[in-house]
Amino acid sequence: MEFIRVCAVTDIPEGAQKIVQVGVHKVALFHFENKITAIGNACLHKAGPLGLGKVEHKYEGLYVTCPWHGWEYNIQTGAAPPGYKDQQSLYEVKVEGDDVLVSTQPVKKAHRELHDLKIIEDLVKLDYLTTPDSKNILGISTTNMNDGLPRYSTSEAALELALAYAAEKHGASTKMLKLRELGFRACEGYYSQHMNACTWPCSITEMQPDDGMTQVYRDMILWADVVLVSTPIRWGNASSLYFKMAERLNCVQNQITLKDRVLIKNKVASFIITGGQDNIQQVAGQMMVFFTDLGFTFPPFSFLGWSRGWTAEDMDKNIMQFKQSEYIKRTAKEMVDNCMETLSQIKHVHTENIKAPKPHKEDSFSSGVINPDMNV
Ligand code: FES
């Protein structure tokens, strides 16, 4: 077997780890318990850098945890934890004098098992449920409240009005998601390590398919033709639950950067924004920027707003006036009519002709710069 010198022994003292180049492969070297061992650096999941992972005693062995999404490998055998059959490539290591040598070929080859993603297979395969004739209207209510102490929500009430009208007047299929009932994790920022670490379906969804965002992805990406998002105004912005959902939609937009793949096609969005005081236009602008970046189309006049001005601290009267408002009843319907008219037009758009003028990874000013720790 051939060996190649990768570093000096002094470069990797007890308790250290290091990523080295062996031919065309990157290899993660570990020096723990007086033994230097080497496994492939590219995690079998999405090629995260194992050499940057944390090494700990677990499962009666020494395991490294991938810093991207937590897959684990025994640093002495390359094996996955008990119960998993994945095998990371394992290299032989020799120490000669002050030199650390690694075999040029793995003594155990990498092998990745098929992992059961059946629960989210429709998302993986993008099994769209829309048809040329479908009229599927998804309402997403982003207001938060204590379900043990339910209260009247102006934004949700307007959304209910709009959905009822869409079903009655346009024969649409309607669905309402209330984010507060879904119980979903906040984005954990995998993208900030590497664009490939932010996956579709979302990394969190892969790890925890019963996370509440699975329902949002399924209904928004696969089922809906029209998405109506309602939000209260909280300190001049959309609700915190709206932003929690928006951050988890980074994986949808990231597919454009990674694969030039637009997941949202021929879909219309509009917004319901209500507050006791003001800032409707700022909230609408922020939401529209995000939703257009996902690929949604807007009808003209794509939001309904309600507020009573800066001095309107008497919130009890806000609800009273909202319930009596003919303006709300009328504009909720007009917004739906605008969405349906726009939908009937965009159903005929050839989406293959629509380009996403977004940066691709090769557009970065540093795309030619190599990060020695990364595998991709
Ligand atoms: S767990 Fe390693 S890349 Fe996902």
Atom of ligand 1 nearest to the CA of 69: 1
The best mutation among 45, 64, 200 to test binding of ligand 1, ranked by most ligand atoms within 8 Å of the C-beta, falls on 45
Which CATH number is correct for 118-363, 3.40.50.20, 3.90.1150.10, 3.20.20.150, 3.40.50.360? 3.40.50.360
Q: Are 123 and 158 in contact (CB under 8 A)?
A: no
Parse the chain into domains and list their residue ranges: 17-103, 118-363
Q: What is the β-pairing status of strands 54-58 and 61-65?
A: antiparallel
What 3-state class would DSSP assign to 69? coil
- Distance from CA of residue 189 to its chain's centroid? 9
Q: Which of 58, 6, 67 is CA-nearest to residue 32?
A: 58
**Is residue 45 lining ligand 1, measured as CB closer than 6 Å?**
yes
pLDDT tens string for the chain (376 positions)? 999 999 999 999 999 999 999 999 999 999 999 999 999 999 999 999 999 999 999 999 999 999 999 999 999 999 999 999 999 999 999 999 999 999 999 999 999 988 778 899 999 999 999 999 999 999 999 999 998 999 999 999 999 999 999 999 999 999 999 999 999 999 999 999 999 999 999 999 999 999 999 999 999 999 999 999 999 999 999 999 999 999 999 999 999 988 889 999 999 999 999 997 789 999 999 999 999 999 999 999 999 999 988 888 888 899 999 999 999 999 999 999 999 999 999 998 888 788 888 888 888 888 889 899 999 8
68 ligand 1 Cβ < 6 A: yes
Please tell me the pTM assigned to this model: 0.92
Interatomic CA distance for residues 124 and 265, integer angstroms: 17
* Topology of domain 17-103, CATH: Rieske Iron-sulfur Protein (2.102.10)
DSSP secondary structure string for all residues of 260-284: ------S-EEEEEEE-SS--HHHHH
Give bridge partners of residue 234 from the DSSP assignment: 237
**Same topology for domains 17-103 and 118-363, yes or no?**
no
> Are 40 and 50 in contact, with CB atoms under 8 Å apart?
yes
First and final C-alpha spacing in the chain:
28
